[in-house]
Structure 1
Amino acid sequence: MPRRPGTPRGPQGGRRLLVISASMGAGHDTVAAELVRRARERGDTAQTVDVLALLPYGLGAVLRCFYRGSVRHFPWAYAALYRLFLRPGAGRRPSGTPLARLAGDRLRELAARTGADVVVPVFHLGAQLTGHLRDRGLLPVPSVVLVIDFELHRQWLHPGNDHCLCLTEEAAREARGNTGTPAETCGPVVAPEFSAGRVPGAAQWRETFDRLGPGRPAVVLSAGAWGVGSHLDATVRLLVDHGYLPVVLCGDNQRLRRTLSGTPGVLALGWVTDMPGLLHAARALIDNAAGQTAVQALAAGLPVVGHRPIPGHGADGVRRMAALGVSEVAEDRTALLEALARLTAPGPDRRRRIAAGRALFTGNADALTLVTDLADAARADVRR
C-alpha cells in the first residue's frame, strides 16, 4: 500500500484517519466528530467527509431530502424501502453499491490527497463505497467499518471491507458470518462528558425543570435532529396528565416546537448544545429510534424506554436494545406509564437498568484503538 511521494505524515509520525459520515440527521456526524476528536487528542491527524457530498449531480442532497420527507410525512414508504434494501435476512435483494460507487473517484482522490492510512465509514452507504473500492483494489489503504446501529442491517455489510466494529458480539458474529471478514465488538463512541461523574450544566437544567414543573420528574422525549415522531402530542399530553414534565427534543423542526410550546407543563426545545447536562438532570428518556441520543443516555446513566419508534431501522433498533437488556419497550400508553413509574423512582429497577446500560461502555476495546492498530499493521506490511 505505497504512499504517494511527498505525502506528509501526521504529527510526530502519527496516523491519518479519513472518517466517512453522512448528514442524515445528526447521529453519524456526532460519532464521526468524537472519533476525530479522540484521534487528534492522541496526536493523529483525522478529518471527516460527508459521503453525500461525494455523490455527483446533487444526488446526495436529493437522497437526504427524500429520506427526511419520507420519515416525516410518509413513514409507510420508508418502511417499504427499508424492507427491500436494508432489513436483515436471507435472499437476494438490491444493494447500495451501485449508488455508492458513483462517489468512488472523489473518495479515492481525497484519500490520496490527505495521505490517509485508514478509511473509517460510520454510515452504511460509506461502507458500501469502501467495500466496493477495496474489493477491486482501487483503495490502497484499509477500510474499517464502525457500525453505530444496534441493528446490523444488510447495507452495513460488504465483503470488500477489511474489518467491522460492532456494538455487540451478536452483531459482530452476524457480520463475520455474512461477509467472511474479521469483526469484533467495541464500545460506543460517545463524548466523555456523558459518562462523567459530575456535569456542570446539570444543575442549571434541574433549576429549569423545578421552575416549570415543581415535583414533576423530567422525562426527555427524543425526536431526533429532524423532529420526527409518531403521535408526539398524544404522548406529551399523557405525561402531563400523569404528573411528569415532558422535555421534548424537537431538533430543527420549528413547527413541532411551536405546537408543543403551547401546551402547559411542557418544555419544547430546539437544538440543544448541552446534551450531557440535560441527560444527567432528567429521570428517563423516551426514545423512538435507538440512535445516538439513546446511546448518550445510557452513558449518562439515564433509563431508556422505547415507545412508538419510527419505522424501519428505528423499530428494529428499539427492539434490539430491549432484547439486549439495556432498555425497555413500551408498546402502549399503559406500558409506558408503568415503565416510567418504575424507572424514574429510586429503587432496584432503576439501578439495574442504569447498570445494564453502562455495561456497554466497559469490557470492550476502544473503537479508535482498534482502528489505529489496524492502520499500524497495514503500514508495517508496506514496510516489509
Structure 2
Amino acid sequence: MTTAAPAPPVGTVLIVSASMGAGHDAVAAELARRLAAIGARAETVDVLALLPLRLGALMRWWYRGVMLRAPWLYALVYRVFFVSRRAPSTSPLTVVAAAGLARVVRRLRPSVVVPVFHVAAQAAGHLRARGRLAVPSVVVLTDFAVHRLWLHPGNDRYLCPDAATALAVTAAVGRPAFRCAPIVRPGFAAPGAGVPGPGAPGVRAGAADVRARIGLRDGDRIVLVCAGSWGVGRVAETARTLARSGRYAPVVLCGRNERLRRRLGRLLGGAGAGAALGWRDDLAGLLASAYALVDNAAGLTCREAFAAGVPVVTYRPIAGHGGDGVLAMARAGVSVHARRRADLLRALDRLEPGLPGRAALTARAAALFTTAPAESLLLPGLPLPGDAVPRPCAPAP
C-alpha cells in the first residue's frame, strides 16, 4: 500500500505593490485572494510607503501631475532613465526602498517575495544579490513592454505576459522567465470567451440594463474608452471621434478625475451621444455589454477585456510606458493599434460580431489565459504545471 506524498508547505507570500494608479494594487489584491484560497498567508505592502521622508507620496504626486499636465516631461524621463542604453541599471531609489523592504522581511519572515512594481523588483533584487534576502524573489510583470528598471539579476525568476517578453527578460538578466496567465478577478470571465473559471455571480447585468443605467439608448453600440484611475490621456479627442461617427456610443471611464468626467459629461451627455463615468465597481458588467474597448495604456483594463472576450483597440497612448505597451500588445496579436483617427474607426468597423477579425483577435487574447496561473509559479515546493509552461523561456544561442 502506498501513501500519498505530503503536500508541500505553504508559507507567507509577501507581495510588494505600489499605489501608482490602481492597476498594480488590483493585481496584488487578486493574487493575494488566490493565494489565500490555496492556504497561503498573503501580505501586501506598498513600496512607496517604505520610502523615508514621504518620498513615496512625493513620487506619486509628481507622476500624477506630470501625466495630467506635462506628459512630454514624463516621456523625456522615460526615454532617458528607463529605456536608454546609457540609462542607469538601477533606480536611485533602490537602496532606500531595499532598506524598508528588509525591515518588512525581518518582521514577516515570508517564504517568497513577489514584486509587482518596478521599484519593488529593484529593491528585492538588490537585497537578494547582496545576501540580505534569504528567500526567493519572483517578479510578476504587469506590463507587456518591460523597461530596464523592472530588471535586476538578483531576482530568482520572472513571470511574464507572453513568450516574447519572457525571452527578452531572460536575454537581459539571465534569469528564468515563465509565461503566466493575466491576473484578473474571476468576475470578468465571459462564458464562451475561452477563459477558465466561472464568473462571479451577479456581476453581469443585461445590456439593456447597463445602457439604461448610464443613460444610453437601446441599440447603442457601447465603446468603452479607458483613461485609467487618474483619467489621463487625450480621451476627449477619442470620445469626440467616436461620437461624431454616428456608429458608436463612447462611454469614457474617467477614473477618479472628476474634472474630466464633468467636462466630458457636458460634451457627450448634452448631445446624447455617449456618457462619461467616474470610478466604477461594475466594470465587469460594462465590459460584458461593450462592443469594444479603446485603451491608451495597455494596463489592467486590457487584461480584463481579454478575459471578458471584448476586443481591444489602442489609440493615442499615454507617454512613456503606455506607448511601448500598446505596441508590444499589438505585436503579440492580442489588440489592434490605431495610429490615426481614420484607423480607429476602420479598426472598430472590422470588429463586427461574426467577422473573422473579431473572432481571431479575441481568441488570441483568450489564449493568454491557458498558460499557468501566477500563483502556481510562486511557492517553493509547488510543482510547475508542465503542460502549460514546460520550461523557462531561454534566449536563442
TM-score after normalising by structure 2: 0.87
Report the counterpart of residue 130 of structure 2 in structure 1: 136
Tell me how far apart the structure 2 counterparts of residues 162 and 374 of structure 1 sit (CA, whole Å): 15
Check the 8 A contact 1:284/1:304 in 2, yes or no: yes
Check the 8 A contact 2:21/2:228 in 1, yes or no: yes
Report the counterpart of residue 25 of structure 1 in structure 2: 21
- 1:365 equivalenced with 2:387 (yes/no): no
Check the 8 A contact 2:227/2:233 in 1, yes or no: yes
Residue of 282, 287, 310 corresponding to 1:274: 282
- 1:48 equivalenced with 2:50 (yes/no): no
Per-residue deviation, 1:181: 1.5
Tell me how far apart the structure 1 counterparts of residues 33 and 374 of structure 2 sit (CA, whole Å): 13
Residue of 232, 236, 255 corresponding to 1:233: 236
Which structure: greater helix fraction?
Answer: 1
5+ long unaligned stretches in structure 2: 1-7, 192-198, 385-397
Per-residue deviation, 1:374: 6.0
Report the counterpart of residue 61 of structure 2 in structure 1: 65
Per-residue deviation, 1:200: 3.5
Per-residue deviation, 1:204: 4.5
Per-residue deviation, 1:375: 7.6
Report the counterpart of residue 108 of structure 2 in structure 1: 114
SS in 1 for 2:178: strand
**Letter of the structure 1 residue corresponding to residue 171 of structure 2:** G
Check the 8 A contact 1:19/1:47 in 2, yes or no: yes
- Equivalent runs, 1:1-384 vs 2, <5 Å: 14-87=10-83, 91-197=85-191, 200-204=202-206, 206-209=208-211, 212-230=216-234, 232-243=235-246, 244-262=248-266, 263=268, 264=271, 265-362=273-370, 364-373=371-380
Report the counterpart of residue 387 of structure 2 in structure 1: none
Check the 8 A contact 1:71/1:78 in 2, yes or no: yes
Give deviations 1:287-341, integer Å, cap 9, x for gaps: 1000000111011100000000001100110011111110101111111111111
**Letter of the structure 1 residue corresponding to residue 349 of structure 2:** A
Check the 8 A contact 2:11/2:41 in 1, yes or no: yes
Deviates more, 1:206-215 or 1:143-152: 206-215
Tell me how far apart the structure 2 counterparts of residues 374 and 26 of structure 1 sit (CA, whole Å): 32
Give deviations 1:43-100, integer Å, cap 9, x for gaps: 110011000000001100111111111111111100001101212x6x3312444312
Give deviations 1:199-249, integer Å, cap 9, x for gaps: 64333454232651332200000000000011x222212212223111110
Tell me how far apart the structure 2 counterparts of residues 313 and 69 of structure 1 sit (CA, whole Å): 16
Tell me how far apart the structure 2 counterparts of residues 360 and 103 of structure 1 sit (CA, whole Å): 32
**Letter of the structure 2 residue corresponding to residue 369 of structure 1:** S
Q: How many residues align?
A: 362
**Letter of the structure 2 residue corresponding to residue 298 of structure 1:** F
Tell me how far apart the structure 1 counterparts of residues 71 and 329 of structure 2 sit (CA, whole Å): 21
Check the 8 A contact 2:189/2:308 in 1, yes or no: yes
Check the 8 A contact 2:210/2:286 in 1, yes or no: no
Tell me how far apart the structure 2 counterparts of residues 22 and 374 of structure 1 sit (CA, whole Å): 28
Check the 8 A contact 1:200/1:277 in 2, yes or no: no
Tell me how far apart the structure 2 counterparts of residues 204 and 48 of structure 1 sit (CA, whole Å): 35
Tell me how far apart the structure 1 counterparts of residues 367 and 380 of structure 2 sit (CA, whole Å): 24
Check the 8 A contact 1:163/1:183 in 2, yes or no: yes
5+ long unaligned stretches in structure 1: 1-11, 378-384
Per-residue deviation, 1:196: 4.0
Relative to structure 1, is the Cα distance of residues 176 and 374 closer, same or farther in structure 2, using a 3 angstrom cutoff?
Answer: farther
Check the 8 A contact 1:76/1:311 in 2, yes or no: yes
Relative to structure 1, is the Cα distance of residues 213 and 149 closer, same or farther in structure 2, using a 3 angstrom cutoff?
Answer: same
SS in 2 for 1:310: coil
Tell me how far apart the structure 1 counterparts of residues 361 and 24 of structure 2 sit (CA, whole Å): 26
**Letter of the structure 2 residue corresponding to residue 327 of structure 1:** S
Relative to structure 1, is the Cα distance of residues 375 and 351 closer, same or farther in structure 2, using a 3 angstrom cutoff?
Answer: closer
Relative to structure 1, is the Cα distance of residues 105 and 287 closer, same or farther in structure 2, using a 3 angstrom cutoff?
Answer: same
Per-residue deviation, 1:180: 1.4
Tell me how far apart the structure 1 counterparts of residues 358 and 155 of structure 2 sit (CA, whole Å): 40
Tell me how far apart the structure 2 counterparts of residues 201 and 134 of structure 1 sit (CA, whole Å): 42
Deviates more, 1:135-144 or 1:206-215: 206-215
Tell me how far apart the structure 2 counterparts of residues 202 and 46 of structure 1 sit (CA, whole Å): 29
Please, what is the CA RMSD of the aligned residues? Answer: 1.8
Determine what percentage of the aligned residue pairs are the same residue. Answer: 49
Check the 8 A contact 1:118/1:375 in 2, yes or no: no
Deviates more, 1:347-356 or 1:25-34: 347-356
Tell me how far apart the structure 1 counterparts of residues 187 and 144 of structure 2 sit (CA, whole Å): 22
Check the 8 A contact 2:204/2:284 in 1, yes or no: yes
